[in-house]
Amino acid sequence: MKLVALAGGTGAAKFLRGLCRVIDPADLTIVGNTGDDVELWGLYISPDLDTVGYTLGGLIDETKGWGVKGDTFQCRTAMAALGNDTYFALGDQDLAVHIYRTEQLRGGKSLSEVTESLRNKWSVACRLLPMSDDRVATRIKTPGGWLAFQEYFVRERCKPEVLDVAYDGAERSHPGPGVIEAILAADAVIICPSNPVSSIGPILAVPGIREALDETRAKVSAISPIVGGGAVSGPAGDMMRAKGFEISPLGVAAAYTGFLDQLVIDYADEISCEALRARGVAPVVTESIMGTREREVALARAAIERLG
Ligand code: GDP
């Protein structure tokens, strides 16, 4: 079964680690969000692609959920001493990846090409494609004005009220090489348990991707990142409210209206089953919190078992 997974960062990475134990990773193409990408200290950083790559390559710092395990922060300390903004914590080994990526991009390589060489260096067996090689920048409207995504997420720790979310540059962007072809050739598409607005929203905002999801004969299955009335972690609830979506599995289904066939929800949300069915979405009820590796695998199994 050829699978495509649309992915953000932390929630997606855990799920994909489980999925890679259930299927042959060679059959999986991951389309990663680049709306969170940021330039800091002159370096181009792709946090979601790196989180997925580090996790599948076994390099992730599992305590933090981001960065490289055992990393040191000497450069950050030195940058702070030089008076630089250091709100975004970049470890020394992590920095090497950003230096490599930036140098390759400046040398004329595309983000897709650099991601392909990184995933080989990380020994990641599935394909990892950026949603686009063009710059799409997610921005958050707060009562104090618009913030770049990482200013809101990391510097302000998601505290400001979210009034709106925009994907700057999306309308002029093109899908990354291979993205449309992979969706059209897939037997199933999985939307990872990721923030529907800031992780999956930018992917769907790239012209052509939503249309390919409509067109593909593949069944589309999502895993709800909303459990028991709120996000398992992070600001998905606040962002869904700002975009007019109910903070529930029904709101998640509404964010994917038009192409969603199946939604994996937690036992805590069993009450949503009937309303999902009424909207043409088949519910799959399971234990959806990925507290252990076994739960990651079980969730991945639940997400794909009715798609064959
Ligand atoms: P980000 O870029 O780090 O925000 O990464 P994602 O968008 O991929 O993941 C964040 C989302 O994953 C949040 O909306 C969480 O609610 C969701 N999430 C995290 N852990 C779990 C889990 O164990 N189960 C489910 N169902 N969702 C989860």
For the question of whether the overall pTM of this predicted structure is more than 0.95, the answer is yes
> Helix/strand/coil (H, E, C) string of the chain?
CCEEEEECCHHHHHHHHHHHHHCCHHHEEEEECCCCCEEECCEEECHHHHHHHHHHCCCECCCCCCCECCCCCHHHHHHHHCCCCCCCCCCHHHHHHHHHHHHHHHCCCCHHHHHHHHHHHCCCCCEEEECECCCCEEEEEECCEEEEHHHHHHHCCCCCCCCEEEEECHHHCCECCCHHHHHHHCCEEEECCCCCCCCCHHHHHCCCHHHHHHHCCCEEEEECCEECCEECCCCHHHHHHHCCCCCCHHHHHHHCCCCCCEEEEEHHHHHHHHHHHHCCCEEEEECCCCCCHHHHHHHHHHHHCCCC
Contacts of 207 by beta carbon, 8 Å cutoff, 6+ apart: 170, 171, 173, 174, 175
Ligand 1 pocket check for 10: Cβ under 6 Å: yes
The span from the CA of 229 to the CA of 125, in Å, is: 36
Ligand 1 pocket: which of 194, 197, 247, 292 to mutate (most atoms within 8 A of CB): 194
* pLDDT of amino acid 194: 98
- Tell me which residue has its CA closest to atom 11 in ligand 1: 194
**pLDDT, position 60:** 98
In order along its 308 residues, the chain shows pLDDT tens digits of: 999 999 999 999 999 999 999 999 999 999 999 999 999 999 999 999 999 999 999 999 999 989 999 999 999 999 999 999 999 999 999 999 999 999 999 999 999 999 999 999 999 999 999 999 999 999 999 999 999 999 999 999 999 999 999 999 999 999 999 999 999 999 999 999 999 999 999 999 999 999 999 999 999 999 999 999 999 999 999 999 999 999 999 999 999 999 999 999 999 999 999 999 999 999 999 999 999 999 999 999 999 998 87
pLDDT of residue 95: 98
pLDDT at res. 247: 98
Q: What is the model's pLDDT at position 47?
A: 98
pLDDT for residue 277: 98
Instruction: Please name the residues in contact with 308: beta carbons below 8 A apart, sequence gap of 6 or more.
Output: 1, 187, 188
237 lines ligand 1 (CB under 6 A): no
